[in-house]
Structures are given as C-alpha cells and as structure tokens.
Structure 1
C-alpha cells in the first residue's frame, strides 16, 4: 500500500526511498530514517572511498554507525495494527457471498445481509435496515442500562442497610457484653459483701462465746478458792477442837453445810452452721430485676384531688404530707387525704418504676385502678367514697377496691393487702431481711401481675400480686402515710 498520499500518516514514519511505512528503521547521523533493506541497497550503490551519503541530504555517514530506532519501530507497529483492524472491519461490512455492502438485517436469521441475499435466501423474512436495528438495539441497551442502574442503586442501598444493621448489632453486642460484665461484677460484689457479713457474724459470735467462757472460768476459780479456804478451816478446827473454839467450829460446819457449787452458764456446744447463699435464687432475682428495669418509665406525681393533704415538689417527683396534718392530733381513719397517683396511666404493656423511701417509718406503694365503688369527679379526677364502717385505716386497700399495694407501718411491719371473705381486711405480714430504702414496682398489664422488688437487697422479691383484674386504666399509686419524710420517684438514669 502506498502511504505517500495519506496526510494522516506522519512523514517521519515513511521511508524516503520506498515511500512505505518503515520496516526495521535505521537512523542516520543527519536524522533521516530508512528501512534497513532500503538503506542497505543504497550503501551498495553509493559506497565510495569508505563513505556513503544520505539519499535525502547527501550528508556522509559510516555504514557501521547506523542505529536501530526502537521508538519508530513501536509507532509503526501500532499503525500497522490499526490498518489491519480497519481492513478487517471493512471485510465484515461486506457480504461474504456477493461482496456487496451489508446494509440490511434479517430478523429470522439474526444476521446482516446484502440486497442480493434477500432475493436468493431471505424471501418472505422480516428485513430491516441496519440503522433501524442498531437504533432498536441502542434503545434496548438503554433500557438494560437503566434497569441495571436501578438494581445497582438498590444493591448500594441494601449494602448501606446491611452496614447499618451490622453497626447496630455490634453496638447491641457491646452493650450486652458491658451489661453482662456489670451484672456479674455486681454478683461478685454481692458475694464479697455476704462473705464479709458472715465472717463478721462469726467473729462477733467468737467474741461473745469466749467472753462468756472467760466469765464462767472466773466464777469457777473464785468458787474453788472459797472451797479451798473452807476445807482448810474445817481441817484446822478438827485438830484444835475445844470448849473455847466450839462456836467457831459450829460456824464453819454451818458454812460447809449450806455451800453448794454454782455451775456457771456454759455456751451451748451446738454451733450454728453457715449456709451458703442460694446463688441460683439470687441470680434469678437479679435477672428478674434486670428484665423489669428494661421497661423503666419516667413518672411524675399528681394528687388525686384538690382536697389532698399532700405537698408535691415543683418537679413532680417528691411528695410530703401537708404541714397542717403535722400539727394535728386527730388520727385519720383511712388516710385518703394522702392519696397520690402518677400523671401517667396504663391500659396495656409493661412498666417499671422505683421509689426512694429512705428514712420513712410508714408508706404505701403499688397501683390503683378505678372500680365500681369509686366515683369519678370530672373536675378533680378520682374521689374516694369511704365506707362509714371501716374497721381501720387499711380497710380500703384491697384488690376488690382497685388497690394492689404493699406498705410499711410502725417502722418495721411490712404488709401486703389481699382480698378477704369478710369486711375485715386481709393483711399479710411480709418477712424482709434487709429493710428496703428503694422499692421497685413492675406492672405487667398483659400478665395481670404487679411485682415489688427490694432494690436495696439486690432485687429480692418483696411480694407479687397475680391474676389481677384490672377493670380499667391502671395508675401508679403512692401514699406517704403519717410519716413526714418524703417519698421520691427515682429517675431512670439512676
């Protein structure tokens, strides 16, 4: 192929002798480039006196100083590859049977054909121009690109969701890990405190027993000394018996006759055996408290009506009996003037709250649900209609009256109030090993239970009401009773 007429080809890639693309180009000192075969033929013709001259500029050069030009070799190689590709493309555009341009497309056979092919092999087929088929393919390509783009965006969205879910689970696992570590650390703290308490109790018992034994030993030593002196007097008077010492002898005999050994009180040899704490029970109570605390709700206080003799703090978290009651000598019959409920009410779900009762000698806590024997006042909320024949102040605190409560009276008497078949209240006495300074209340509306926890004693159970019949909305209930020390709601953060 003659490249001399193709202006698109750089002149320096053309051999000045054969006017073709350079083949194994060699460079002369003057800068002109030639095919190796062409310049070799020129050397045989122009060599004279050991020198050759450039066919272009006639500059002399030494045949043995010619250098291969690798840069030109690479560039020529790329041009040859491009020409070959273009030639192959031109061949593909031509019909292999007729050599005509393939400007038509047969849908049945799915191939490009020429006009002669239509007459010979494709009569009756759906024939379209290549331009139409290309346009249709481009439209399908665009639809496919749009669909795949949406799929890619959806994949990216799902990847973001998965990453977010992964981070959420990592945070959850870390939180759970910290909660487990904290829980077992608290359990170890409980065991350490129990160990110290039991060892202190043993030390105190040891001191008590040894002190009693020391006192008993002193008593025996004193009596032994007295008996030795008495025996010595008897022996001496036996040897010296006379009329003059008769009265002394009689006195010594009387002393010996009335003397009896007084045995000291000895501590019982039956020692109390230490019983290891019920770790399973403690762990169960701890888990139950942790589960209840996961439903902690932030409550605020509200008196039942405007006639209540209580004072609620500005943040509605603390309640105290009114100052006028503190100077009153009349003992109320039912303490209804001290009724306090929360501003929140519940008709379903699980809820937990804690109350600080530190320093109080009396209180009542629990939940309240309006029943048929209570009247609703539209202006003041709930108003009680106390029965005139209440036998004592506890008569109305029963589930049948809408109360599920426990209480403290006389500083150390803990009670739960259940229904009874008579008009007298059924008061259950509760044994509480560690007096609670903080009480947790858990309401499970679906399970119809109200549970009271002694948070001070690691969440031990105080009492649990089961099968509660909540007729209507349930309100957390508080009563400071006749103790001037306030009741305080604990915030969830505590």
Structure 2
C-alpha cells in the first residue's frame, strides 16, 4: 500500500476529535463519523450542537446510532495498528509530575505536545495524525501542559487566542465582540513577543542588580578583611606596648625592692656588729667578775691584798650614745612612682609619634573658600592664609557666608579619614575644627557638636578649650605652634594634635556624622594688633 493510500485509510477509521481509531462510531446527518463518547462530550461542552468538521448546526440534538460497518472496520484497523506497533519498543511511562498522553490505554506515556484546538495532550504515537494529516496542520501545538482549563475563556468556553492590550489580559475570539469592544488586540504570539522583550529587559536589570550585590558583598568582605587585619595589627602593637610597659614596671619594682632590701641589710649588719662587740665585752666582764667573786670568797686577808692589784676591769666602750640607725624608706616609693611616670610618658610620647605619622598619611590639600569668608577677613592669594583686617569689605551676602569671624575650606568630606595641619604660632586667639555643610553661619554661633561644630579654641594666649558643650578646659605642657586636625567619619572621631610635640590635645569621640564635613577656621579679632598673625594651612610632611 502506498503512503498516500495508507494515510487515507487511517484517516477513514480515526475519530477527528480524539484522533484515535473509532470506538462505538456514530454518524451525523451530515455524514461525518465520531466516537459516541467524543461527540457527546463535545456537544455537552457547547451551547449549540455543531458538527466539529463542517460546522453544520443542529437545532435539536440528533439521535445517534452506531455505524456497524465503520465499527467493524475500525476494529480491524485497531488490530492492524496494534500488530504493527508490537514490533517497536514501548515508549517509557510518564513519571510523576509529567504530563500524560490523554489517549494511551493501560500505561500512560509521557506527552510531548498539547493541541490547543483539540484540548488534549499526545505522546509521539498519538501525535502522528497531527503531523501527517493536512486538515490538522492548522492546529496549534505547544509544549505539553496539564492545565488546559486555564487556557479556556471562562466566559465563552473558547480557547484563549488573543491578547487585549487595553486590559492586559488574554481573551478568546468572542471577547472582542462581546466584552472588549473598541479594545486593541494582537495575536497571542505578538503579545508574547512584546512581553518577552520586557521580561528579557527585566531579567537583564535583575542580573545587573545581582552582579552589583555580588560586588558589594565582595567589597564588604574585603572591607571586613582589611578591618580584621588592621585590628590584628593594632592588637599586636598594643600587646607590644603593654609588654614593654609591663617590663618597665617590673624593672622599676625590682629596683625599688632591691633598694629597700639593701638598706635593711645595712641596718641588720650594723646591729649584728654592735651585738658581737657587746657580747665580747660581756664575756670579758664575766671572767673578771668571777675572779673578783673568788677573791672575795677566799676570806684570806693576805691573798686578797696580794691579788687586788692584779685584778683590772677590762676596757669597754661607752655605749650610752650608741644607736642602731633606723634607715628611713620615705621617698623610695615616690621616687619609684616618678620614675615609672617618666618611663610611661616617654613610651606614650614614642607611641604618639608613631600614631601621628600614620595619621599624617591621610593628609588632604585644603584651601580656603572666599565665598564663605566674613567680609572682615583677609585671605592670601593662594587661599592658604587668613587673618582679621580692620576694614570690612563690601561683599555680596551669600547664604554660605559667615556673619561672624569665620571661613570654611573648599573641600568637603562625607566618608573615610582626612587630616590637615594649621600653623597657629604667634596668635592669642583662634578656633579650628570641622563643621557640617548645613550648620548655621548667620548671627550668633555656638561652637558645639549639637550645632554641627567640632572645634578647639585658644583665648587670651593661654586658655585652651575643647568646645564640647560645655567646653572642657585643657592643661597643656607647652603651647602648640602647629595643630593637626584628624577626622575619621565612620568612626565618629575628631582629634587635635600638637604636631611638634607629637601630643594629643583633645578628641571628640562617638560622634554621629550624617552630612558632609568641611574644615572650619577662625583667626580671631586682631585686638589692636596683638593677634595679627595669620592662620596658615601648612603642607604636611609625609612620613617615608
């Protein structure tokens, strides 16, 4: 039999609804044959009785009788098909979760396609008619799905074939006429392509965000690693410092104990020498006393008179003024403590020098901002020096300009660490520090952290204060000629250093910065020429 005649023969004995060999085939008045169950279910699911092949409408559901001839021929066809298939290996059964073929009897085989027109899923064997018969070419085959009810219009029980762009929903072919009038529609494929493009863009954006977060995780891990390494270094430095201090304490303690013990040994030896000498005299006196007693007890006048001249008392020392001198230990403790303080001071100064060198690595180039300077201030051409003049310049009253004697640096900082140095030599009054970009610059300004100012000041030549609110009076061993200002934004730290002495002057700790910080300078009034020296932003000598 030729391929064409075989296809024609198969087509004659297959139901166009279930696409399998007829089971209880019945004929309609229009001459088309269907399985009794298939045509009955088809009419039960539709409002009108329509022939699935020619679309003939029956006003009244026809009475269906089995076509015995077709039934017999279909039985032979099924037997022939079964015998023909027996020579091939069986397809594997569908696994749990896989879509099953709707037409397999016995073992259900995994479906490879679902037909939206037929509303059924097919394995490879039962899919063949869709691939061979011309009248089934128009059927839409998709990857197997088992939720076909979701692909049917709930209102008209028709397949969802269109996409309503107006309502952004899938509709059947009747919806545009009945429920979505004047809406814009496109085929599902076109709607799919549009949404697919948007989803692909969304996926790309999501992947970009994912990559950004991966990089951020790497950045945070790296920061944590660097922080951990810095902490380990700092712990090692601290351990070394405290070990050194501990050794100094132990050495001074040993010297103190040795000094006290040496004094006590000297006193003890003196006492022992005195006692030895006294015991010697006591022994000699005892012998002489015994001889005298013996002479007295003899009762012999002649013997006593003859022996008297030979008895002489042994020479002895006058012990009346002899004393064991109690060695005083007063001052030993004070001397040891003073020595300890001096040693610790040297070690702390050495440590501060090292710390200052590390801090100087964060030096930044700061220049003064003329737009913020009070009109009475004089700035140098290089914008590195400022002092108070006698003449008030006529300058525009900008929002950022100070009404009081102040000026800001141009540079602002919102993260990390930074450091700058200012020469204050020869001045009797000045203010130095940092302030926020939003701090008040008009009227009377109170230099306190709660007002956005972290500053150190000098008043009347010798009065140094940390403007902590209330201010803290500082006792300095020497007057600083150059002040270093260090800020750690994340740590919330603002520290001031005497650069030449490598000494910490004052620190603000536990600060919470939420705005950009700018360097703040106030050279103070010139006070009739006593405070004319400028504040000078100095170049920092970077350590090697």
TM-score in terms of structure 1 length:
0.41
* Larger relative contact order (Cα-Cα within 8 Å, sequence gap ≥ 6): 1
